[in-house]
């Protein structure tokens, strides 16, 4: 991983850097203008506008209310309530619209059991046929994230859950097997966090090989999964080998790929985030563009 990319990732998790940039009016305006490529907007209405445009083009969506790393229980409760209401509103949206969430936004770091209760309530509020996808988080939260998802699956909500598996992590094969056994949909990504070599494959060929192996394993066991990568070489190799598997993309990242995939009959889903806490997400997209 390049020094520039690693530095950008550190800035993406720096509250001080965000506060410094956004405190300057010109900095705030420029940052928001640049982020608009990757972010639907600050309101739910803005997100629905994007999901409906995508639907008109034959593309599904997963909507995420920005937020992560919550350390206050009252905030986690408010987030959970917001997501329960959001789940109910999906009934008025196209059938292909799902939800996404980072479990640290639901208070995973405060009380994992309460986080699982929140996620169960959100999943139960979803219309039939919809899912809520849990996002990737750093290796240190791996056990807690896996435990939460499996607890909610055991509570009878497996068919409404999606989990993100990061191919670069050494632990991912075991996690994947447990999630598949639980009946949870898998969103396979390469992995965007900066992790030590003891926990993760190096960025580049080692991660690419791990991704290919995990995708083939998912296909072999008949799992319900999607290929969430912007690496065209890896994606096309897997589509050629496995057939028209669902592909997931991030809003604003290589959007021209959508114009190629949809006419070929490849199911496509786009991650559509919205909300006031857009800054650090935007910084991650900038970091990933440096060598992604």
Complete domains list, the chain, with CATH: 1-39+276-292 (no CATH), 41-274 (3.20.20.220)
pLDDT for 3? 55
DSSP state of 155: I
CA distances in angstroms from 107 to 21, 101, 146, 153, listed in the order given: 27, 11, 15, 18
Specify the higher pLDDT residue, 2 or 129.
129
CB 23 within 8 A of CB 59: no
pLDDT for 46? 95
Confidence at 30, pLDDT banded by 50, 70, 90: confident
Using the CB atoms, write b or e for 129-158: b if 16+ within 10 Å: ebbbbbbbbbbebbebbbebbbbbbebebb
Q: What are phi and psi of 227, to 5 degrees?
A: -95, 105
In sequence order, what are the beta bridge partners of 161? 132
- The residue assigned the tokens 């705030």 is 28
Overall average pLDDT of the 38-50 stretch = 94
How many of the other CB atoms lie within 10 Å of CB of 73?
12
Query: Model confidence over 166-220: pLDDT tens digits?
Result: 999 999 999 999 999 999 999 999 997 878 899 999 989 999 999 999 999 999 9
């Amino acid at each position: 991983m390049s020094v520039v990319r690693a530095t950008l990732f550190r800035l993406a998790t720096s509250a001080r850097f965000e506060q410094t940039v956004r405190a300057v009016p010109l900095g705030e305006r420029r940052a928001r203008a640049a982020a608009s490529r990757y972010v639907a907007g600050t309101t739910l209405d803005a997100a629905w506008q994007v999901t409906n445009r995508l639907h008109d083009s034959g593309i599904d969506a997963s909507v995420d209310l920005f937020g992560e790393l919550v350390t206050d229980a009252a905030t986690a409760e408010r987030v959970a309530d917001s997501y329960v209401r959001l789940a109910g509103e999906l009934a008025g949206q196209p059938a292909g619209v799902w939800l996404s969430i980072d479990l640290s936004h639901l208070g995973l770091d405060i009380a994992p059991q309460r986080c699982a209760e929140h996620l169960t309530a959100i999943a139960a509020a979803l219309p039939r046929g919809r899912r809520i996808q849990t996002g990737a988080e750093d290796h240190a939260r791996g056990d807690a994230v896996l435990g939460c998802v499996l607890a909610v699956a055991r509570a009878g909500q497996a068919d409404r859950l999606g989990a993100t598996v990061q191919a670069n992590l050494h632990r991912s094969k075991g996690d994947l097997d447990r999630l598949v056994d639980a009946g949870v949909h898998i969103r396979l990504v390469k992995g965007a966090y900066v992790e030590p070599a003891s926990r993760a494959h190096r960025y580049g060929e080692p991660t690419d090989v791990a991704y290919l192996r995990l995708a083939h394993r998912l296909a072999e066991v008949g799992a319900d999964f999607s290929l969430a990568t912007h690496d065209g070489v890896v994606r096309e190799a897997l589509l050629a080998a496995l057939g028209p598997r669902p592909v997931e993309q991030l809003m604003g990242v290589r959007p021209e790929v959508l114009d190629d995939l949809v006419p070929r009959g490849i199911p496509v889903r786009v991650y559509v985030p919205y909300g006031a806490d857009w800054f650090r997400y935007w910084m991650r997209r900038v970091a990933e563009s440096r060598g992604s």
